[in-house]
Amino acid sequence: MITAPHMLNLMEARSRDVIVVDVQPMYASYIHFDSAEFMEWLNQQRDVLVFFNGPDTVGEDSREDIIDWYLERGLNEDKLDDIEFVDKGYAFFRAWMDMGISTNIIQKVIRHLVMNRENDSRELPLEELQELVGDEWDDYLEGDPIIIPDINIGMLKRFSGCYLCGGGRKECLEEVKILMDTFNIRYTLVKDFVY
């Protein structure tokens, strides 16, 4: 369930846990909100989980690069004790999203994979996958998989009720939203800090 906040003043909003997606140097040219204002807001929140694209995926930013960038923009150094930085991987549901497969079908396949301790839709028998997808089946889905990301679902559940922000709105942030919605992890999208 998604609840979009109507906050007149984010600086006075109640302090909560926060999940940040891909607010990092390599996306600086896409981030349209004020990064200093974002860091000031982040300083006032509780525990923070920062998902990023690191050098092991498509990213060029190391954890240390991102920390330096946050500090340069006004994050309090002592706030680092409340922040966990996690390289989330890249494009785990995107092939299906970009093909227009409905979110409910993507979530159905994710649940099925997790329940069967599989990490990749290509590991399922073709007939089983076709049955799960139903009328939305396209032969391209056989080769373009859904991948279960290396994100600890238990950790995500600890953040239930959090603020969620970052980007890209229809890319990586959307993937994290789909993952959270699949496991009924509640969040409030902070539109002021979405790019």
Domain ranges across the chain: 16-89+160-194, 94-142
Q: In terms of Cα–Cα distance, which of 178, 86, 99 is closest to 145?
A: 99
Burial zone of 158 (CB within 10 Å; 0-12 exposed, 13-18 middle, 19+ buried): middle
pLDDT at 160 over 60: yes
How would CATH label the architecture of 16-89+160-194? 3-Layer(aba) Sandwich (3.40)
Position 59 scores a pLDDT of 74
Instruction: Provide the whole-model pTM.
Output: 0.91
Beta-ladder partners of 147: 120
CA distance 126 to 60: 36
Position 12 scores a pLDDT of 56
Q: In terms of Cα–Cα distance, which of 108, 157, 159, 117 is closest to 135?
A: 108
Mean pLDDT in the chain? 92
Cβ neighbours of residue 171 closer than 8 Å, sequence gap 6 or more: 94
Helices (H) and strands (E) in the chain, counts: 7, 6
CA distance 144 to 99: 10
Please list, residue by residue across 116-151, b when 16 or more beta carbons sit within 10 angstroms of its beta carbon and e when fewer do.
Answer: eeeeebeebeeeebeebbeeeeeeebeebbbbbbeb
Position 56 scores a pLDDT of 82
Residue with tokens 């920390």: 67
Confidence class of residue 2 from pLDDT cuts 50, 70 and 90?
A: very low
- DSSP E strands, the chain: 2-3, 18-21, 48-52, 83-87, 162-166, 187-194
For the chain, how many residues are written? 195
Q: In terms of Cα–Cα distance, which of 88, 45, 44, 47 is closest to 66?
A: 88
